[in-house]
C-alpha cells in the first residue's frame, strides 16, 4: 500500500488532500504542528485505519517510512505568516531541507506546495512559469514570498545534485470549506463580514485582480501532478485563469449571502499585488487538468460551511 506523508495535513488544503487519499484507500500520515491547522479539519478521519496523525514541526527532522511526500506546511495567509515572520521563513526553508532529506533517505517522490506569491507584484500578465517574478525581498510579505522561492531553489538543487523525483506546484488563491474564520484571506474575510452584517473591507478601490480556485479543483491538480512521471518536475501553475476584481468578489459575496453589508474602502497594504492570473497551459497539457467549479458555485459551498461554523460556535 502506498504510504503518503502530508505536512500541514490538518490545515485547510492539507485536510482535503488527506481526505481524498484516505477515501482512495492509501495509507496517510498527517503531520501538523497546529499553528494554523485544526484537529477539527481531520476529526472525521481519525477513526479510519489508514489514517494517522502526528504532531510535529517540520523545522525539525522527521524519521518515518513513506513513499510519497506532499510538503504543504506553512501558514498561507498574511495575517498568520506576518505574525511570526522569522518562523514563517524557517518553516519554508528548514521544512524543505528536512522533507527533502527524508525523501532522499527513503527514496520517496516529493511535491512542494509553492505559491503564486513567488511572482510578487507581476509585470507579466498572465503569469507563466518561466516568469521570474517581481518580489520585494525586504518587505513585510517577503517572509512568505522569499521563503517559498528558496524552497523551490532547494527542490531543484536536490534534483540536480541527487537526481531526486521532485514536483513543484505554484498554487493560486484557493478557497473553500474548512478555511478558518480568522484565516485573513480575502474570500473568508468577505464571507465572515457579510454573514455578520459588518462592512466589507476592500483595499484600495478594489480594482486589483485575483483568480480563485475551489479547493476540490486544486486537490485534483496536486494529485495529478504527483502521479506524473519522474521527468515532470514543474513548476506548474495550479489555479483558475478566470480573473475577478476584488470589488467584483465583494459584490458577489454580498449577493449570495443576501447581506446588507456595505463596502468600505481602506488603504492598500504594502506590496499588495495589483494583478494575479495564472497561465495554466502547462497544467492543461501535462496534467490534463483545468478547473471545473465556477466562482459562484464554489462560493455557495463555502458560504454554507461558514454559516454552519458560525452557528455552531459557542456563544
* Catalytic residue positions, numbered: 144
β pairing state of 68-71 and 236-238: unpaired
CA-to-CA distance for 220 and 20, rounded, in angstroms?
A: 9
Contact 40, 12 (CB under 8 A): no
CA-based end-to-end distance of the chain: 45
296 phi/psi in degrees, rounded to 5: -65, -45
Exposed / middle / buried, residue 285 (Cβ in 10 Å: 0-12, 13-18, 19+): exposed
Calculate helix-pair angle for 295-312, 186-195, nearest 10 degrees.
60
Contact 202, 250 (CB under 8 A): yes
- Can you tell me which residue has the cell 501553475? 237
Bond before 270 cis per omega within 30 degrees: no
The count of C-alpha atoms lying within 13 angstroms of the C-alpha of 60, restricted to the half-sphere facing its C-beta, is 7
Q: How far is CA 191 from CA 32, 146, 172, 297, in A?
A: 26, 29, 19, 14
Helix (H, G, I), strand (E, B) or coil at 7: strand
- Can you tell me which residue has the cell 473553500? 176
Nearest Cα neighbor of 307 from 174, 188, 184, 175 is: 188
Amino acid at each position: 500500500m502506498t504510504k503518503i506523508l502530508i505536512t500541514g495535513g490538518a490545515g485547510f488544503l492539507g485536510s482535503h488532500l488527506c481526505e481524498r487519499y484516505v477515501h482512495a484507500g492509501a495509507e496517510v500520515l498527517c503531520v501538523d504542528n497546529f499553528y494554523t491547522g485544526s484537529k477539527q479539519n481531520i476529526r472525521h478521519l481519525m477513526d479510519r485505519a489508514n489514517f494517522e496523525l502526528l504532531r510535529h514541526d517540520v523545522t525539525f527532522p522527521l524519521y518515518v517510512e513513506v513513499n510519497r511526500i506532499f510538503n504543504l506546511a506553512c501558514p498561507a495567509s498574511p495575517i498568520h505568516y506576518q505574525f511570526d515572520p522569522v518562523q514563517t521563513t524557517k518553516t519554508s526553508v528548514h521544512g524543505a531541507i528536512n522533507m527533502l532529506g527524508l525523501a532522499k533517505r527513503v527514496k520517496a517522490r516529493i511535491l512542494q506546495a509553492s505559491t503564486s506569491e513567488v511572482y510578487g507584484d507581476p509585470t507579466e500578465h498572465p503569469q507563466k512559469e518561466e516568469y521570474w517574478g517581481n518580489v520585494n525581498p525586504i518587505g513585510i510579505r517577503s517572509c512568505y514570498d522569499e521563503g517559498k522561492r528558496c524552497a523551490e531553489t532547494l527542490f531543484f538543487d536536490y534534483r540536480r545534485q541527487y537526481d531526486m523525483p521532485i514536483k513543484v506546484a505554484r498554487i493560486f488563491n484557493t478557497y473553500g470549506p474548512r478555511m478558518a474564520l480568522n484565516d485573513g484571506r480575502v474570500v473568508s474575510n468577505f464571507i465572515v463580514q457579510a454573514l455578520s452584517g459588518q462592512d466589507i473591507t476592500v483595499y484600495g478601490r478594489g480594482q486589483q485582480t485575483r483568480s480563485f480556485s475551489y479547493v476540490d479543483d486544486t486537490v485534483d491538480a496536486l494529485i495529478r501532478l504527483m502521479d506524473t512521471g519522474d521527468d515532470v518536475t514543474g513548476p506548474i501553475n495550479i489555479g483558475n485563469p478566470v480573473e475577478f476584481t476584488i470589488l467584483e468578489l465583494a459584490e458577489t459575496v454580498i449577493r449570495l449571502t443576501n447581506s446588507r453589508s456595505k463596502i468600505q474602502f481602506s488603504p492598500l497594504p504594502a506590496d499588495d499585488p495589483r494583478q494575479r492570473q495564472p497561465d495554466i497551459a502547462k497544467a492543461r497539457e501535462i496534467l490534463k487538468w483545468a478547473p471545473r467549479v465556477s466562482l459562484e458555485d464554489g462560493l455557495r459551498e463555502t458560504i454554507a460551511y461558514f454559516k454552519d461554523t458560525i452557528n455552531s460556535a459557542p456563544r
